[in-house]
Structure 1
Amino acid sequence: MPRIEFYVLSSTDAEGRLRAACQLALKAWSAGLPVFVRGSDEVQCGKLDELLWTFKAERFVPHDLHHEAPLSPVVLGIDEVPSAEQGVLINLGSSLSPHVERFSRIIEIVNQQPELLDACRENFRTYRQRGYDPQRVEL
């Protein structure tokens, strides 16, 4: 059963969610885990792709969009089936991934935007209804 954590940011800044996703992807990849970052749409995946090149000048995070290289250490996608199992899912979408069971760890990144808060609360409830024990982590 995957470990599920909701990382809660104190701001409403959408860019802050993307930066947090990049930092968490770097940390998981550095620990040797495959990472799938699930964006809300192709535009957000494109922003993540660019940000992963620039957010840490001294570190390179090997990444690709799923349709370009699904076996990259860090994969950016939406609802594609991840090629690697038992890795980390960083979910920036507003709903649960259809592939929850393929991951050993799931991180949902929440900020204080009202619509996102509502969606993430619903995700939290859904995880509990499915028998998971999601945890809240304040950032």
Structure 2
Amino acid sequence: MTQVDFYILDDKARINRYSLACRLTEKIYHQGRRVFIHTVSADEARHMERLLWTFRQGSFIPHGLLGSADATTTPVIIGSSGDAGEEQDVLINLAPEVPNFFSRFSRVAELIDREPEVKRSGRERFRFYRNRGYPMNTHNIDL
């Protein structure tokens, strides 16, 4: 069964959920795992692609956009459609809704920051997973 982790940034945190997504992606990549970052739009996917190049000096995370990158050689894929390609290891969800393909992943990371709409939709996703019996953890982050 899919493990769901909520990463909740403290209201006083200096970073937002996009920066947290970069940090989490880097950590997961260094563990030898594959990551699919699900965004709400193609613009947001391109934004995440740019951030992964620049979020930390000296960091390198091989990544690309779904449909453009070779998924067999690229460990981090970013997409915004209702499709995740063949990915099934770790899903980082930046969209306000639960993606219809989430259950094929071994882990799902839901990132919540101080934005009111992000908090509201995060609570809805929390209830969705809880009501269906998915194992969940909550991590409070104060970066």
What is the 5 A alignment of 1:36-55?
36-55=36-55
Mapped to 2, the partners of 1:34 and 1:56 lie a distance apart of: 20
Counterpart residue number, 1:18: 18
Structure 1's unaligned 5+ residue stretches are none
Q: How does the TM-score come out when normalised to structure 2?
A: 0.89
1:44/1:57 CA distance change after superposition, 3 Å: same
Q: How does the TM-score come out when normalised to structure 1?
A: 0.91
Quick one: which amino acid aligns to residue 83 of structure 1? E
**Are 1:113 and 2:83 counterparts?**
no
CA shift, 1:81, in A, is 2.7
Counterpart residue number, 1:64: 64
CA shift, 1:82, in A, is 3.2
Moved beyond 2 Å, runs of 4+: none
Quick one: which amino acid aligns to residue 139 of structure 2? V
SS of the residue aligned with 1:37?
strand
CA shift, 1:70, in A, is 5.2
Match of 2:84 among 81, 86, 91: 81
Mapped to 2, the partners of 1:130 and 1:54 lie a distance apart of: 38
Structure 2's unaligned 5+ residue stretches are none
What is the 5 A alignment of 1:20-35?
20-35=20-35
1:64/1:12 CA distance change after superposition, 3 Å: farther
Q: Give the count of matched residue pairs.
A: 137
